[in-house]
Chain A
């Protein structure tokens, strides 16, 4: 790949990442906190692409040669062609956030989470919106004490594990590559007839039923569902 093409590829890659980081698209792949660094890096990449084009075109339409000696000398790297893969991934495929496929093939990762010892009391209102992870840790590690008698609202997507459908949310530590599911089982008026990957918000209360994840034998907490509704997929799909 000659220098001009490299410049073009850098422009494309930088542009693709910049576009992803300025919209909500980047949230499908990495955390929010990475956004300023993504913008900076992609801007630098675009600048490098522009400067490369500038220098190459200034030489006079490629009439100045590029080094082509193969005898252990310097040759423009051919692996550079591989950089088209993420460019195409971002621009052409633009894959969605991870969903029930990942959640269904991995065991619930609650035991891998940093163990909490503090469970601040929930605000005394009729309905509390809780992240799925928060609910699961309070249910398992605090035996639901801080959840007693409290109506909570959990938002997650549906995933089937074995024969049962769970409410799940994927938790990131770094990026989507290390996403692990947190699953919550549902009793009571659980949603029925919905396909996996449907995003729902369930309102319910804590119940001390627990289940076992068939994949890794970990404990799955349950929520007694009072009502539910489908919701649009959130822009921040991971917790």
Chain B
């Protein structure tokens, strides 16, 4: 057990095993010169960068004066600002779960058998409002707390899609089609259940890599909370930047006439909306309204958009790769995409 790992002196040669258990209380002051290795220049680089940008402020402002660039930047900033409360809130809850909730709670709350834990976890996803930014860190902390991977993944899939805020927004967006709300809720739940049970069946627990979280072993729980918060916010936030940038790029460059031409072919419409859902990475509270505006498309195609969006999109893939590892994301995303499209088509056929 690495106790007080955070205080340990770590040798920074690559390829060596993680450091030996802490040299408690021993702080080799004479080695401080060697400890300022390459990673430590971050603050200097940051400061230099900021100073340079402040000095170059006017030329930069002139360069971004083009309306397309400004529109891009507005959309990019808007997505980041809109997502921020959900991101920070979700990460705070995740950090709190990770630090303050004793592991025994999870073992008691969820059925021991993973097959039973999956549906319970899926339903508990319904009480977690906020978009997908929050569910990835929370799922990570659940796994860390001993919840079976399958149940945590079921939660990860269900939480953004079937929470009350999303369902209400869907109801408001489709007032003449309440079956869209039902379809979305049922299809998303089905996706969570199928993937959860499938994960058990696959038995590949090695696919999910959890980075070692030294700050969580800290004896000071409050410090551990802040450390976890910091780490998750910058990690998830960094990936969110990628997703927001891509979404802004697509938003500015895709002409609407193309969309219309595609909508007239039913299968192409479904595929294109599924792809659009993956690419646009819109917050699950908002995608209902965007779907409602795609009036050229059939309700079934739009249901696909609504079911796919919260469970697999560029933003999520990037976050999952960051939190769970690239191998995981490469396996998880395609399986989820196919399942989501399938469930949406199934419930679309049944209800719409």
Contacts and interface: CB of A to CB of B under 8 A. Distances in A.
Interface of A: 1-10, 13, 17, 20, 26, 28-30, 34, 37-38, 40-42, 44-45, 48-49, 51-52, 55, 60-74, 76-86, 88-90, 92-93, 95-102, 105-107, 109, 111-115, 173-178, 180, 215-217
A220 B225 CA distance: 54
Nearest to B286: A174
Q: Which 6 A-B pairs have the closest CB atoms?
A: A79-B238, A112-B293, A174-B286, A173-B289, A68-B12, A176-B78
Contacts of B11: 68
B281 to A, nearest CB: 9
B101 interface: no
A7 B286 contact: no
B interface residue count range (under 10 / 10 to 19 / 20 to 34 / 35 or more): 35 or more
22 contacts: A9-B46, A17-B84, A41-B87, A45-B88, A66-B10, A68-B37, A77-B235, A80-B234, A84-B49, A89-B73, A93-B61, A95-B74, A97-B74, A101-B70, A173-B290, A174-B286, A174-B289, A175-B81, A177-B75, A177-B78, A178-B282, A215-B257
A6 B172 CA distance: 40
Chain B interface mostly: helix
Given A83-B238, A101-B68, A173-B286, A7 B230 contact: yes
B292 A114 contact: yes
B84 A4 contact: no
Interface string B251-267: 10001110010000000
Contact of A86 (B57, B70, B80, B233): B80
Contact of B234 (A1, A93, A112): A1
B227 interface: yes
A215 B256 contact: yes
Contacts of A28: 74, 78
B342 interface: no
Given A30-B78, A30-B82, A2 B40 contact: yes
A38 B10 contact: no
Contacts of B242: 79, 82
Given A48-B226, A89-B73, A109-B293, A80 B238 contact: yes
